[in-house]
Amino acid sequence: MITGKSDETDVVHALESGADDCIGKPFGEPELRARLLVASRILALQNELIQAREELRVQAMRDGLTGLWNRGAFLDLFKRELERAERSHGRTGLLLLDLDNFKRINDTYGHIAGDLVLRVTGRFLRQSVRSYDFVADTAARNSSSCFRDARGSGFVSGQRRLAELSAEHR
């Protein structure tokens, strides 16, 4: 804020009223440059904070190992999808997946190998669905997939596509 008043009480009043800065006239170029530099630093810090908040938001919604949506995010996304389908008189499909013999993999080869299987499976599932469908790690190494506009043959073809791709990767 630029003001013709340079009394300290006027500056304090301006800042308390919401101004981020207040400079009284007349002012010199060095002071203006210094204040602009400070404002630039504040904006850079604010951008870093916004970026960090977004990264934390994503981390809170994704499983750290598989990269899939976590259970809470899935329930929220699925609720929205059901509401969207109801509004548009569409259909939504839900596919529940389970990794066969996963406990045996962990027991035989160890948790590092089990984690690798989960990471590869997560990547495989993400790459196997359409961009507007979503896959989640919902509980105890089970996955759920939601298919938008899942009408008869479209939903079956999505199931078939996952089954065929998983058979190729066994």
Cis peptide before 30 (omega within 30 of 0): no
Residue 11 pLDDT level (bands cut at 50, 70, 90): confident
Residue 156 backbone zone (phi > 0: left; psi -120 to 50: alpha; other: beta) = alpha
pLDDT digits (tens, 9 = 90+) for 103-125: 888 889 998 998 898 899 889 88
The arrangement of secondary structure in 71-168, i.e. its CATH architecture, is: 2-Layer Sandwich (3.30)
The answer to pTM > 0.75 is no
Would you list the domain boundaries of the chain?
Answer: 2-61, 71-168
Predicted pLDDT at 53: 97
- Kindly list the strands in the beta sheet with 134-139, ordered across the sheet, starting from the edge strand earlier in the chain: 92-98, 142-148, 134-139
Taking residue 155's Cβ as centre, other Cβ atoms within 10 Å add up to: 17
Residue 144, both tokens: 């759920």
Tally the residues of the chain. Answer: 170
pLDDT for the residue numbered 12:
87
Residue 153 has pLDDT above 90, yes or no: no
Helix (H, G, I), strand (E, B) or coil at 144: strand
- Confidence class for position 55, pLDDT limits 50, 70, 90: very high
